Amino acid sequence: MKNFSLLILGIILGVVAASFYYNSNDVGAPTEQLPPKPYGYITSETAKKLDEAYNERYNIINDSLFKDPKEEDNRSSWYKLQAIEEYLAYTKYEAKQGGYTLDGLRLYLGAYPDSKEGRGLTTMFFVPTGYKTVSDGSIFSLQGGGKDLPGFGGLNLGSQGTPPGANYPQ
């Protein structure tokens, strides 16, 4: 009976020690691993500096084109994450079908044409970039990318800032 009691006590102590060991390894540990920062990542402080450096240019454009104080040009554009993901999926498929490899997006500044309702506001739109796909065995497969894909559609119609001329952050 004495040996059986020692066996039970040993099992209990083993379970308690094992639970402390496994739980201590999880304390404070994140559930997901932080992905690496993407190329070109900037801090919010850098974003503020870039935004402030644009103030003079924005004011020159806005003051020369928009005389009515009620009207002000766009300074930012917001896109729903779902719209960007859908655009990427659609454009990847479209590029592949056209014999291209999508390697990025280029963001352009544009403006809507003036109309009876008023001056056309600034907009920002994405266009796909990439290169013509060649066979993997070709020595020409190492082409430079980043060129706008000819004839491919872009992504526009993001929402303007509130108000349109608001600085970063909104």
pLDDT tens-digit series, residues 44-101: 888 888 888 888 888 887 777 777 666 777 788 888 899 999 999 999 999 999 999 9
Residue 97 domain-assigned (yes or no): yes
State how far the Cα of 20 lies from the Cα of 127, in Å rounded to an integer.
Answer: 54
Q: Which of 133, 125, 88 is nearest to 109 (CA)?
A: 125
Residue 150, pLDDT above cutoff 60? yes
Contact of 126 with 87, CB cutoff 8 Å: yes
Q: Is the alpha carbon torsion for 102, 83, 166, 68 positive or negative?
A: positive
Contact of 165 with 132, CB cutoff 8 Å: no
Residue 168 domain-assigned (yes or no): no
Assess whether the previous peptide bond of 113 is cis (omega < 30° from 0).
no
Residue 137 domain-assigned (yes or no): yes
Q: What does each C-alpha distance from 148 to 39, 126, 152 come to in angstroms?
A: 20, 10, 8
Q: Specify the number of domains making up the chain.
A: 1
Average pLDDT for 144-155:
79
pLDDT at 31: 74
Residue 17, pLDDT above cutoff 80? no
Residue 111, pLDDT above cutoff 90? no
pTM score > 0.95 for this model? no
Instruction: Specify the higher pLDDT residue, 61 or 132.
Output: 132
Residue 27's domain comprises 19-159
Q: Position 112: which residue type?
A: Y
pLDDT at 19: 65
Instruction: Specify the higher pLDDT residue, 26 or 89.
Output: 89
Residue 3 domain-assigned (yes or no): no
Neighbouring-strand partners of residue 101: 131
Residue 1 domain-assigned (yes or no): no
State how far the Cα of 98 lies from the Cα of 151, in Å rounded to an integer.
Answer: 10
pLDDT at 145: 60
**3-state class of 158 per DSSP?**
coil
